[in-house]
């Protein structure tokens, strides 16, 4: 039986959002980029339910690519696997010879596989090496950040990426403790966080290490910088009728996505005009319900707790041309 942590979030809704772009009676083949392939759950469902679809599966994690290759082997050449970061969409398409695609999907954040593997160091629930690299073939680790960044930089990261109220206190404690011995494992960091965060604050808002671990992970992987480049690149990559679908799991990711989509779906005409003149229509339109983002239902959250924080946004290109 599949563990709940491995159930793809909002699976049916995601497929419903990309299907109109991929099921086209006038086309023999359509193309989707799964920019965060992970274990391949969303791609598997798309390939199963959209027979015309081919998928370019991108992931920076070589271990995830190995796992998804096994899972998606029955679909043969309908899947192309690429080891890359998802802000490299334009380069990937250029290398593969595709001028555009019909859909781009992002399922952001850390994957269940990365959380489950102790040696990756993403989880604060068990003592493990402080790594947190999504691509563990190179680059600085969380231990490098803790042991080398000055107190001002550590404070900034914890405050802005982790939205941690006690950022300065934690940063000063890290600098004080690393002078005695460098940080190497998560257990010692968790102990420091328990000691640094006042008891009343520890009793609210979830595990006291959650915000610090999120901040370190974002810094190590440049997640917000990558996302700021990736969402516009995805918008540029889709042709008319194409869709970009983004699942975010914290407010910082969702804010970036919301900003890019808002810019792509608005025009610069005065708001009191009774109609939009031809040629001034926005290049894209929102396709998610309500105010632009959707949440998981209570039933889905009960079945799959990872869905509790998800925010889903999607746009569709209705006109060719660059986004202002």
CA distances from 64 to 18, 100, 136, 195, 197 (A): 23, 25, 11, 35, 35
Q: What are phi and psi of 317, to 5 degrees?
A: -80, 125
Per-residue pLDDT of the chain in tens (324 residues, 90 and over written 9): 334 446 799 999 999 999 999 999 888 999 999 999 999 999 999 999 999 999 999 999 998 899 999 999 999 999 999 999 999 999 999 999 999 999 999 999 765 544 555 455 556 667 888 988 988 888 899 999 999 999 999 999 999 999 999 999 999 999 999 999 999 999 999 999 999 999 888 877 778 888 999 999 999 999 999 999 999 999 999 999 999 999 999 999 999 999 999 999 987 655 555 555 556 678 999 999 876 799 999 999 999 888 999 999 999 999 887 665
pLDDT per position as a tens digit, 189-227: 999 999 999 988 887 777 888 899 999 999 999 999 999
Tell me if 324 is assigned to some domain: no
- Residue 4: the pLDDT is 40
Last residue of a domain, one of 197, 221, 245: 221
d(CA 220, CA 106): 19
Q: Which distant-in-sequence residues (6+ apart) come within 8 Å of 52 by Cβ?
A: 22, 23, 24, 27, 28, 29, 30
Q: How many CA atoms lie within 13 A of 204 on its CB side?
A: 5
Residue 294 lies in a domain: yes
pLDDT score, position 114:
46
* Rounded Cα distance, 32 and 30, in Å: 7
- For residues 296 and 269, state if they share a domain: yes
Residues 232 and 271 both lie in one domain? yes
For the chain, state the CA radius of gyration: 21
Q: Which of 221, 246, 281 is the last residue of a domain?
A: 221
125 lies in the same domain as 106: no
CA angle 95, 261, 255 (to 5 degrees): 105
The answer on 206 and 232 residing in a single domain is: no
For residue 185, being part of any structural domain is answered with yes
- Cβ 224 vs Cβ 196: under 8 Å: no
Pick out the residues of the known binding site for S-adenosyl-L-methionine: 40-42, 59, 86, 107, 114
pLDDT value at residue 109:
75
Task: Tell me the two tokens of residue 180.
Answer: 């005695």
286 and 198 part of one domain: no
Do 210 and 242 sit in the same domain of this protein? no
Residues 204 and 247 both lie in one domain:
no
- 69 and 170 belong to one structural domain: no
- Domain membership flag for residue 134: yes
Which residues contribute to the annotated binding site?
40-42, 59, 86, 107, 114
Any domain includes 322: no
CATH number where 70 lies: 3.40.50.150
Same domain, 247 and 184: no
Q: Residue 323 domain-assigned?
A: no
Q: For residue 87, is it within any domain?
A: yes
Do residues 133 and 211 both lie within one domain? yes
Strands 238-248 and 311-317: antiparallel
Q: Alpha carbon 219 to chain centroid distance?
A: 14
Q: In CATH, what number is assigned to the domain containing residue 173? A: 1.10.150.170
Domain that holds residue 238: 4-113+223-317
The total number of structural domains that make up the chain: 2
Residue 299 lies inside a defined structural domain of this protein: yes
238 and 205 fall within a common domain: no
Report how far residue 320's alpha carbon sits from residue 100's, in angstroms, rounded to the nearest whole number: 12
Q: Using an 8 Å Cβ cutoff, are 45 and 11 in contact? A: yes
Q: In three state form, how does the secondary structure of the chain look?
A: CCCHHHCCCCHHHHHHHHHHHHCCCCCCCEEEEECCCCCCHHHHHHHHHCCCEEEEEEECCHHHHHHHHHHCHHHHHHEEEEECCHHHHHHHHHHHCCCCEEEEEEECCCCHHHHHCHHHCCCCCCCCECCCCCCCCCCCCHHHHHHHCCHHHHHHHHHHHCCCCCHHHHHHHHHHHHCCCCCCEHHHHHHHHHHHCCHHHHCCCCCCCHHHHHHHHHHHHCHHHHHHHHHHHHHHHEEEEEEEEEEECCHHHHHHHHHHHHHHCCCCCCCCCCCCCCCCCCCEEECCCCCCCECCCHHHHHHCHHHHHCEEEEEEECCCCCCC
pLDDT digits (tens, 9 = 90+) for 10-63: 999 999 999 999 999 888 999 999 999 999 999 999 999 999 999 999 999 998
- 108 and 228 share a domain? yes
Last residue of a domain, one of 221, 253, 276: 221
Helix-helix angle 11-22:41-49, to 10 degrees: 50
């Amino acid at each position: 039986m599949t563990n709940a942590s491995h159930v793809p979030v909002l699976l049916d809704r995601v497929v419903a959002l990309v299907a109109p772009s991929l099921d086209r009676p006038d086309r023999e083949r359509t193309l989707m980029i799964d920019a965060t392939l992970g274990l391949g759950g969303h791609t598997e469902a798309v390939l199963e339910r959209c027979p015309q679809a081919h998928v370019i599966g991108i992931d920076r994690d070589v271990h995830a690519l190995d796992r998804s290759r096994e899972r998606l082997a029955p679909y043969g050449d309908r899947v192309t696997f690429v080891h890359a970061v998802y802000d490299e969409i334009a380069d990937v398409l250029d290398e593969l010879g595709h001028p555009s695609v019909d859909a781009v999907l992002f399922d952001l954040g850390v994957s269940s596989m990365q959380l489950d593997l102790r040696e990756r160091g993403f989880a604060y629930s068990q003592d493990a090496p402080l790594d947190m690299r999504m691509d563990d073939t190179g680059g600085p680790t969380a231990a490098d950040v803790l042991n080398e960044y000055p107190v001002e930089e550590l404070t900034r990261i914890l405050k802005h990426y982790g939205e941690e109220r006690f950022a300065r206190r934690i940063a000063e404690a890290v600098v004080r403790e690393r002078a005695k011995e460098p940080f190497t494992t998560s257990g010692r960091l968790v102990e420091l966080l328990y000691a640094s965060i006042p008891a009343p604050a520890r009793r609210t808002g979830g595990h006291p290490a959650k915000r610090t671990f999120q901040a370190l992970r974002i810094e190590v992987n440049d997640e917000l910088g990558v996302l700021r480049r990736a969402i516009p690149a995805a918008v540029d990559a889709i042709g008319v009728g194409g869709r970009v679908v983004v699942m975010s799991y914290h407010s910082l990711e969702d804010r970036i996505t919301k900003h890019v989509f808002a810019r792509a779906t608005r025009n610069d005409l005065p708001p009191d005009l009774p109609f939009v003149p031809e040629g001034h229509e926005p290049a894209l339109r929102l396709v998610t319900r309500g105010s632009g983002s959707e949440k998981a239902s209570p039933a889905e959250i009960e079945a799959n707790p990872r869905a509790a924080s998800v925010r889903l946004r999607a746009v569709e290109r209705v006109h060719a041309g660059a986004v202002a």
